[in-house]
Amino acid sequence: MIIYVVTEGSYSDYGIDKVFLSKEKAEHYVKYMNGKYSYGDYRVETYETADEKYKIQPLYAKIEMDFMYRIDAFNNHVVYVTDFRVSAESAEEKEEPSTTFEVVENGMNYTLIRTYVQGEDYDENSCLEKVKKIGFDLAAEITFLRSEGLSFKNIATALKK
């Protein structure tokens, strides 16, 4: 569907005045307004709507998290969430959940863990809760694997699977 947008002005004064479905009505309105105001700069811009092409798809909250795992001075296993980012994605854009690890001295850096929360009603709090849950689950898994005698390098390999 084509719509006809009557605009006026330029730069910071640019704005939409009216929107028409009829080209004839839009052009008539522009002629009227430019005749009414000597300084009138009204014009018709044509746009195609996206209604026919756009399909409503499930939305996902893409959560990307950066973690660090360390054994502190008291020999506690600690997972730190150093950063997380949330963005909306459609089913077509959705990537596979993935994890990337980097082993460092006396610990591991989790450079990226990607996961999704499905639904249009996700919000920052539900995403934050997901980040916390993943952090706790990750800490528990690493602590268990360390208690089984695995090195950080072997844990990184095991968690990638």
Question: If you search the block for the tokens 């077509």, which residue do you land on?
Answer: 92
Lowest mean pLDDT among 38-42, 59-63, 100-104, 125-129: 100-104
Q: What percent of the chain has pLDDT over 90?
A: 22
Mean pLDDT of the chain: 78
- What whole-number distance in Å separates Cα of residue 83 and Cα of residue 65? 6
Higher pLDDT, 154 or 27: 27
- Longest Cα–Cα distance of the chain, Å, equals 85
| Res 111: pLDDT | 45
Mean pLDDT of 16-23: 96
